[in-house]
Amino acid sequence: PFWLTLVVAVIVQNLAAHYQFLEQRSLQKELTNRRALYIVTYLLFPINVLVGVLAGVWRMVISGLYNAVHF
């Protein structure tokens, strides 16, 4: 459930950013529904922190393995 929650949260954020918070009809992409974007960002902050920590740990593991192989 933990991994599924992280994956679903990232997918929902990307889809919402693309379809809900960006104006698609104009020549330049504009941010719309700014208040809703702030609320979603505030509510998903703990999940984004977990995603960032896991990405950092994953990068350190990959880097350690890469360096161990090439050492």
Whether residue 5 is found in the same domain as residue 36: no
The token pair at 15 is 């889809």
**pLDDT recorded at residue 29:** 65
Q: How far apart are CA 67 and CA 23, in angstroms?
A: 45
Domain tally, the chain: 2
| Chain centroid, CA 41 distance in Å | 10
Q: What residues make up the domain containing 20?
A: 1-29
Q: Give the torsion sign (CA, 20, 26, 29, 31).
A: negative
**Single pTM value for the model:** 0.64
5-46 tens-digit pLDDT: 888 888 988 888 888 777 767 666 666 677 888 888 888 898
Q: How far apart are CA 57 and CA 54, in angstroms?
A: 5
Whether residue 18 is found in the same domain as residue 46: no
